[in-house]
Structure 1
Amino acid sequence: APRQSNLMTIWKHRPTAYYLLLSLCLVPAVLIALLISKYGVDMIDWDQWEVASFFIKYSQGRLTAADLFSQQAEYRQFFPNLIFVVLGYLTQWNIKVEMFASFFVICLIALTLYRLASLSFSEKRWTNALLMLLTILILFAPAQFESLLLGEQIIYFIPAACITTCLCVGYSQLSSNTKLIICFLLSIFSTFSSANGIICWLVIPPVLFHSGWKNWRVAVWLLGLLSSATVYFYSFQKPSYTPDAWAVLHNPLQGLFFFCALLGAPLMASNKLILISTALGAVLLALFLLSFFYVWKFSDDQQFKSRAIGWLMLGSYSFLTAIMVTVGRLGAGKYQALASRYISFSLYLLIALVYLIPLITDQALKRGKRPTLKVLKPLLASAVILLIVIHLFNSAAAIRQTAWMKIRRLEQKACLLFINVAPNQCINDGFREFATVSSRVNAINELGFLRPKLIRSNNIKEIADTNSMLDSSSGRFENLGETSDRFIASGWAGLPGNIEPADAVLLTYQKDNADPIIFAYVQMKIAQPSFQRLLVPHPDVDWRWQTSISIDGVGVALPISVSAWAFDATTGKAYKLGGTYVIEGNGKTPQLVAVGAR
């Protein structure tokens, strides 16, 4: 044991070992960057159709500040809209660039948290390094995959970045007036970025004015808060499609359940385990409230209070946001509390506790409560191990959902690309009003902001990739059977390389030697795979498709040959599947006339 202790002491005093530990903090960040690169889809999503109108107006010389400031859902996201327009024109509106912009904001938050941690544990760099590693694990959690893989979700990260930056400014050596100006501007930026951005005005004052509450500075701050709130809610209208905000008053116990589940979601986001999420959230809530009470009521150490207040305010950001989400989304059902995008709001309470608990433990040690500490240290070590284990399981489940999200979004993108040729029910399932989407996507396509471009013709030769025919291991048109006046077509379809499923299947008919013509669009509707099937898929089982078709509207006389094609929404290319059938009519069963893809 003494030898082991000596080795540990030597290791701790080596700078290389310390920086090696810090470098481990890069691993979660690199993982998120890889997830965005691999699973991000360059596709316009629900709320981004509002952003599409900005590019259209700008190209016509009609874009105004009022357009950028206009209400979108419950948001007045003026500054994110400005970011979207600038990035969009610099990158031809590459949505994945917006995803990496969100990643950049998270990295900024990480740097500000590192600065705050250094101030809290300035004399304990090893403690600081270990806590920072835990912080990075939580901050770069894959569980928030919706926020990471939807470009417009940068709005979910900006308020936190503004708050952590303000906290750093509040603890800095800058003059009081300079601190006030910087935090005032950042609070405005936060307010007009997200629906919860106004919380910045509420959580920063205890740090900003900790050294003294001068009347005129407080008055300026309150004026900024009231002015921002007035401008934000001027002509504000609650969207008709959002849940009833009064539901929490009618069902307070359900509201408390929802609130705790939301706080526990960073550790457990499975709908099947929502009771565990709620229990974990209740524990985190209790720990946070006890920490708050201890710092404000039982400590007379001003240095300790100064260190702890910043973390209390960071946790308060999640606490207050969780209240807003509970009021605004309880009516959508209890599982809404586990939505991936809200984890980007609630994880900061967990990060705050990562620092508050060691700070309070150190304070107890200084006050001579060693017997309590002997019991507390093993409990803390066990809690850290449990936290890491739960986080890893939650992250593994999130990565599986991330892969499935890519599949679903590529299916939606394929549907969008055929909006002019084969409008399908999937347009109604995945997008807003058809007329609005159709108008805007065609305008965006003309601007060159859509990759690949919209499909303009039902002639399959215009999108067929004849250089990469699929072999039998990548998909087949297996069956075409007749039932009354319709036909049932089925099979399975992958893309070249057999790594990913097809994003859609196209059915074509051919009369004599004429070109094949697309007459049916088939959604894949692939189910969420297990983690094992994600790693090693069974294409002929997992990537199946089936549809019911009618040839009455084809407009050509029988007989005709029918073929199936796998469509790749990333390249805009189609690949012929093995199997071609001839429909002769007169009650005859369709005949398989070609087995291969050629």
Structure 2
Amino acid sequence: LGIGSSIQPLNNSIILGSIIITLFICLSSYVLWHFKDYQLWHQTIGWIMLGLYTVISALVTSFGRVSFGVEQALSSRYTTFSTYLIISIIHLMIIVREDCIGKEYLLINRSLFSKIICWFLGIITVLQIHNFTYSIENMKSWRQNYLKYKGCLLLINFTHDNCQNLIDSYYFESHRQRARYLTEMGFLHPGLIQTNRIQDLVDTNNEREVEGIFEKLEFIGGNNLLATGWAIFTDTGLPVDAIVLSYDNSQGESIVSAVADMTMPRPYLVKEFKSQKYFKSGWQKVLSTHKFPQGNINVKAWALDTDTAKFYQIPGTHIVNKNGQNLSVVSGN
């Protein structure tokens, strides 16, 4: 019942959750102790039910998700309903306080009690504001991940590694079949991309601009290359939806190869450009070359707009030489 992942999560969640649940139990116990007081019951039953909803929801979530570990248990999707318990406690405190004064159980003036309530509300507000800013950042991160997965889904018929960095290989075929059905039914927008030739899908009108660079391509052993770079859409200042790596076939056409991992931290860009928007602009991908043709091959990086299925080339082209089983990076520009 704590704040969850907002502030050094585990210890703070335990402490705050313990305080909140203890307050609720004490206030509810007072009401139960005076169960013959109809007026008190009438005033508090709604707030007690609201608090019980939170407690029961927390118990159900705990039993249902306990096997997933602490990180899953502290996910904000499961802890945000704790806010209802806080609201319940605030109203119960006021009602119980008035009842105690009426029965002369509590000798405390209204001014002091009001200050205590305000102090309690202030602490909760500060914690919730901190949680709110944390949640906004997480929402941006989740959105970027969803766009990356969508980019892989749109190209699910053509990626050489079946997007193994994004989709579990066990579910890959079922995902591909469902995506085809959704496209045929018109539910998937813009629908699966029907060609692996990127030139057919380049935005010739340049409706969007990409800032970034294909920084490096290096041989890492076997038939694998490591590609790295960064890119953002200039109109939004956000990382591009997805990065697609391509190689040129014997006709000089850019062919889809793989979808990169996104949102890699680039602190040096933040320092260089003095803007936080570049922090998560990085991308990288271990690129398998088993389908590359022989000879010198151009390897390029493209930004994919997942709303329009249009491609935008990222500056930087690297040349790879494949001679039988031998592989080397010749140059990059």
| Pair in the same fold by TM > 0.5 | yes
CA apart distance, 1:443: 0.6
Asked if the contact 1:480–1:590 (Cα under 8 Å) also holds between the matched residues in 2, the reply is no
Q: Residue type matched to 1:507 in 2?
A: L
1:111-150 → structure 2 map (5 Å cutoff): none
Name 2:99's counterpart in structure 1: 363
Name 1:447's counterpart in structure 2: 185
Distance 1:524 1:354, change over 3 A: same
* Cα RMSD after superposing both structures: 3.0
Asked if the contact 2:214–2:230 (Cα under 8 Å) also holds between the matched residues in 1, the reply is yes
CA apart distance, 1:344: 4.4
Please give the alpha-carbon distance, in whole angstroms, between the structure 1 residues aligned to 2:77 and 2:46. Answer: 25
Asked if the contact 1:505–1:524 (Cα under 8 Å) also holds between the matched residues in 2, the reply is yes
Name 1:217's counterpart in structure 2: none
Name 1:405's counterpart in structure 2: 142
Q: 2:300 aligns with which of 542, 563, 570?
A: 563
Task: Provide the TM-score with structure 2 as the length reference.
Answer: 0.85
Distance 1:273 1:516, change over 3 A: closer
Aligned residue for 2:8, secondary structure, equals: helix
Q: 1:425 aligns with which of 161, 164, 179?
A: 164
Q: Residue type matched to 1:424 in 2?
A: C
1:240-319 → structure 2 map (5 Å cutoff): 263-265=1-3, 268-270=4-6, 272-298=8-34, 300-319=36-55
CA apart distance, 1:564: 1.3
Aligned residue for 2:108, secondary structure, equals: helix
1:523 aligns with 2:261: yes
Name 1:474's counterpart in structure 2: 211
Distance 1:302 1:470, change over 3 A: closer
Q: Residue type matched to 2:97 in 1?
A: T
1:308-387 → structure 2 map (5 Å cutoff): 308-368=44-104, 371-374=107-110, 375-387=112-124
The farther-off stretch of 295-304 and 348-357 is 295-304
CA distances 1:523-556 after superposition (whole Å, capped 9, x unpaired)? 2253599xx99x94353x63222233343422x3
CA distances 1:91-117 after superposition (whole Å, capped 9, x unpaired)? xxxxxxxxxxxxxxxxxxxxxxxxxxx
Task: Provide the TM-score with structure 1 as the length reference.
Answer: 0.49
Q: Residue type matched to 1:447 in 2?
A: M
Name 1:48's counterpart in structure 2: none
CA distances 1:349-406 after superposition (whole Å, capped 9, x unpaired)? 2221121111112222333467324543321121111111111111111111111111
The farther-off stretch of 306-315 and 483-492 is 483-492
Distance 1:320 1:373, change over 3 A: farther
CA distances 1:227-270 after superposition (whole Å, capped 9, x unpaired)? xxxxxxxxxxxxxxxxxxxxxxxxxxxxxxxxxxxx123xx533
Aligned residue for 1:580, secondary structure, equals: strand
Distance 1:273 1:438, change over 3 A: same
CA distances 1:45-91 after superposition (whole Å, capped 9, x unpaired)? xxxxxxxxxxxxxxxxxxxxxxxxxxxxxxxxxxxxxxxxxxxxxxx
CA apart distance, 1:477: 1.4
Distance 1:494 1:441, change over 3 A: same
Q: Residue type matched to 2:27 in 1?
A: S
Please give the alpha-carbon distance, in whole angstroms, between the structure 2 residues aligned to 1:469 and 1:345. Answer: 42
Please give the alpha-carbon distance, in whole angstroms, between the structure 1 residues aligned to 2:288 and 2:10. Answer: 45
Q: Residue type matched to 2:163 in 1?
A: N
Unaligned runs of 5+ in 2: none
Aligned residue for 1:270, secondary structure, equals: coil
Distance 1:321 1:513, change over 3 A: closer
CA distances 1:451-483 after superposition (whole Å, capped 9, x unpaired)? 121112111023211222877x71111223345
Please give the alpha-carbon distance, in whole angstroms, between the structure 2 residues aligned to 1:394 and 1:528. Answer: 25
Q: 2:243 aligns with which of 497, 500, 505?
A: 505
Aligned residue for 1:493, secondary structure, equals: strand
| Identical columns (%) | 29
Aligned residue for 2:92, secondary structure, equals: helix
CA apart distance, 1:294: 1.0
1:24-173 → structure 2 map (5 Å cutoff): none
Asked if the contact 2:214–2:317 (Cα under 8 Å) also holds between the matched residues in 1, the reply is yes
CA apart distance, 1:496: 4.3
Unaligned runs of 5+ in 1: 1-262
Asked if the contact 1:415–1:426 (Cα under 8 Å) also holds between the matched residues in 2, the reply is no
CA apart distance, 1:511: 4.6
Distance 1:320 1:504, change over 3 A: same
Asked if the contact 2:237–2:277 (Cα under 8 Å) also holds between the matched residues in 1, the reply is no
Please give the alpha-carbon distance, in whole angstroms, between the structure 2 residues aligned to 1:496 and 1:347. Answer: 38
Asked if the contact 1:401–1:528 (Cα under 8 Å) also holds between the matched residues in 2, the reply is no
Distance 1:487 1:302, change over 3 A: closer
Name 1:461's counterpart in structure 2: 199
Aligned residue pairs, count: 322
Q: Residue type matched to 1:275 in 2?
A: N
CA apart distance, 1:512: 6.4
The farther-off stretch of 496-505 and 403-412 is 496-505
Name 1:436's counterpart in structure 2: 174
Name 1:142's counterpart in structure 2: none
Name 1:553's counterpart in structure 2: 291
Q: 2:281 aligns with which of 543, 547, 550?
A: 543
Name 1:41's counterpart in structure 2: none
CA distances 1:179-221 after superposition (whole Å, capped 9, x unpaired)? xxxxxxxxxxxxxxxxxxxxxxxxxxxxxxxxxxxxxxxxxxx
Q: Residue type matched to 2:174 in 1?
A: T
Please give the alpha-carbon distance, in whole angstroms, between the structure 2 residues aligned to 1:591 and 1:498. Answer: 32
Asked if the contact 1:271–1:338 (Cα under 8 Å) also holds between the matched residues in 2, the reply is no
CA apart distance, 1:278: 1.0
Distance 1:528 1:507, change over 3 A: closer
Name 2:131's counterpart in structure 1: 394
Please give the alpha-carbon distance, in whole angstroms, between the structure 1 residues aligned to 2:190 and 2:99. Answer: 60
1:492 aligns with 2:237: no
Q: Which has the higher helix share?
A: 1
Q: Residue type matched to 2:306 in 1?
A: A
Aligned residue for 1:371, secondary structure, equals: coil
Distance 1:390 1:588, change over 3 A: closer
Asked if the contact 1:560–1:583 (Cα under 8 Å) also holds between the matched residues in 2, the reply is yes
Please give the alpha-carbon distance, in whole angstroms, between the structure 1 residues aligned to 2:266 and 2:104. Answer: 55
Aligned residue for 1:306, secondary structure, equals: helix
Please give the alpha-carbon distance, in whole angstroms, between the structure 2 residues aligned to 1:310 and 1:528. Answer: 51
Q: 1:573 aligns with which of 310, 328, 332?
A: 310
Name 1:259's counterpart in structure 2: none
Aligned residue for 1:362, secondary structure, equals: helix
